[in-house]
Amino acid sequence: MTHPRIAEEMINGAGPIESSLLPRLLHVTEAAAIAASYQIGRGEKNFCDQVSVEAMRRMLNCLDMRGIIKIGEGERDEAPMLFIGEKVGKWEGGVEVDIAVDPLEGTNLAANGIPGAISVMAMAERGGLFHGPDIYMDKIVVGPQVVKYEREHPGERIDLDAPVLHNLRIVAEALDRNIEELVVVILERSRHEQKIKEIREAGARVNLVSDGDLMPGVATAIRGSGVHMVLGAGGSGEAVLTAAAIKCLGGKILARLVLPSVANGKSAEAIAKEKAEKMPRLEKMGITEENINNILDTERLAPGKDIIFAATGVTSGSVLNGVSLFGEGDARVNSLTIGSSGVVKFTDTIYIHDKEANVLRFR
């Protein structure tokens, strides 16, 4: 049987946000990535972040939408930020959208010229993305084959609180692999010593990353990426962005909010101090001492029906190439965009400002 009209149906079936804003969203992350790229390797992570935040804000404010930032990054690092609650877009009609941003995911990576820095954001209809604080989330991310396996094997499920071995067994079954063949990405932090030990004892292979647990999460849904699971406590904004992408690709994330002082095993005093500082603000977002430990699944983190996601490489990583600069502001950028319709695009964009100096070339 042939499916001559599937692409047409998918394109026409996209929601209003995907059809009107996804191409523009790409331009937003491209602009942020290009701005950051001029700062790669200069050792100034805050400045690097600042230029990408500013580029992202300028581009967002050109869009016909009424946007609100629902989760972002910044206050944790005291980095310049698109702050939670900030209104972006023209706000003259246009669609209402909730936004998750990380203008520069991996500021240290970019500042030190290390692989894996990206500019990334996601949008959805109002209420379509988790509104939460910029703290950590403990996470586990797996691809679509695991979702299928869970559906076909009732009772067998990925579990954030189970021993690592339990989760690895399920992933191995779902992917029809041995545990020894699996690769788990986890941030290289002392808070993860126990988990890293458990992964190794279970026989799986560990890929320690100095920063950047977002794209590896997305990569669990890309066969051939070599990433089978992501574990550990990382940014909450990064978890929501991962959820947006992974939902569109059919994968799964489970997460739980955790205060950095708790995750990093700080003293009771330090924990009390962080709670006193942050809980009042968290409570305004509906997060209390009672429910902070609730498990947040993909649907809770990204409940939207019309979700769009875009990421552009800043420094080269395993999924996206970094920005190449050709002089006169000319640049070549590599991005990934995903929409709820299931349309996924890997794009290779060349901005030629000086057409005589920078003749279009294949490679």
**C-beta closer to ligand VTB: residue 22 or 141:** 141
Which option in Mg ion, ligand VTB, none does residue 143 bind, with CB closer than 5 to 8 A by kind?
A: none
Task: Single out the residue of 18, 40, 51, 73 in contact with Mg ion (rule: CB under 5 A).
Answer: 73
Q: Which is nearer to ligand VTB, 53 or 63 (CB)?
A: 53
Give residue 327's region: left, alpha or beta (phi > 0; psi -120 to 50): left
What residues between 193 and 252 interact with Mg ion by CB under 5 A? none
Joined tokens for residue 287: 């997060």
Query: Containing H/E element for 349?
Result: strand 344-351
Q: Least CB distance from residue 116 to Mg ion, whole Å?
A: 11
Tokens of 355: 């057409």
Binding partner selected for residue 212 from Mg ion, ligand VTB, none, CB under the kind-specific 5 to 8 Å limit: ligand VTB
- 104 touches which of Mg ion, ligand VTB, none (CB within 5 to 8 A by kind)? Mg ion
CA atoms of 9 and 138, how far apart (whole Å):
38
Closer to Mg ion at the Cβ: 30 or 105?
105
Q: What is the CB neighbour count within 10 angstroms for residue 182? A: 20
Nearest distance, CB of residue 320 and ligand VTB, angstroms: 15
User: Given the complex with ligand VTB, which of 89 and 317 has the nearer CB atom?
Assistant: 317
Q: Which of 18, 30, 98, 105 binds Mg ion (CB under 5 A)?
A: 105
Of residues 77 and 156, the one with the C-beta less far from ligand VTB: 77
* Residue 102 touches Mg ion, criterion: CB under 5 A: yes
Residue 187 Cβ, how far from ligand VTB at the closest point, in Å?
Answer: 6
Which of 21/56 has CB closer to ligand VTB? 56
21 versus 320: smaller Cβ distance to ligand VTB: 320
Q: What is the DSSP string of 228-241?
A: -EEEEEEEHHHHHH
Which of Mg ion, ligand VTB, none is residue 189 near (CB under 5 to 8 Å by kind)?
ligand VTB
Can you read off the two tokens belonging to residue 1?
């049987």
Long-range contacts of 47-52 (CB under 8 A, 24+ apart): 48/104, 48/107, 48/110, 48/111, 49/74, 49/77, 49/79, 49/80, 49/103, 49/104, 49/107, 50/79, 50/80, 52/103, 52/104, 52/119, 52/314
SS3 308: strand
Among the residues of 65-212, which ranges form H helices? 107-111, 144-152, 164-175, 193-202
For Mg ion, which stretch binds (CB under 5 A), given 55-63, 69-77, 82-90, 135-143? 69-77
In the complex, minimum distance from the CB of residue 210 to Mg ion, in angstroms, rounded to a whole number: 13
Q: Which does 117 bind (CB under 5 to 8 A by kind): Mg ion, ligand VTB, none?
A: none
* Residue 257 amino acid letter: L
Tokens of 342: 């299931």
- Does the footprint of Mg ion cover residue 98 (CB under 5 A)? no
Least distance to ligand VTB, CB of residue 270, Å: 14
Token pair, residue 324, equals 């190449």
**Which residue has tokens 């030990």?**
197
Helix (H, G, I), strand (E, B) or coil at 68: strand
List the single partner that 182 binds among Mg ion, ligand VTB, none, CB under 5 to 8 Å by kind. none
DSSP state at residue 271: H
The contact set with ligand VTB (CB under 6 A) reads: 105-106, 187, 189, 211-214, 234-235, 238, 260
| Residue entry with tokens 């954030």 | 160
- Judged by beta carbon distances under 5 to 8 A according to partner kind, the member of Mg ion, ligand VTB, none in contact with residue 183 is none
Applying CB under 5 A, the residues found at the interface with Mg ion are 73, 102, 104-105
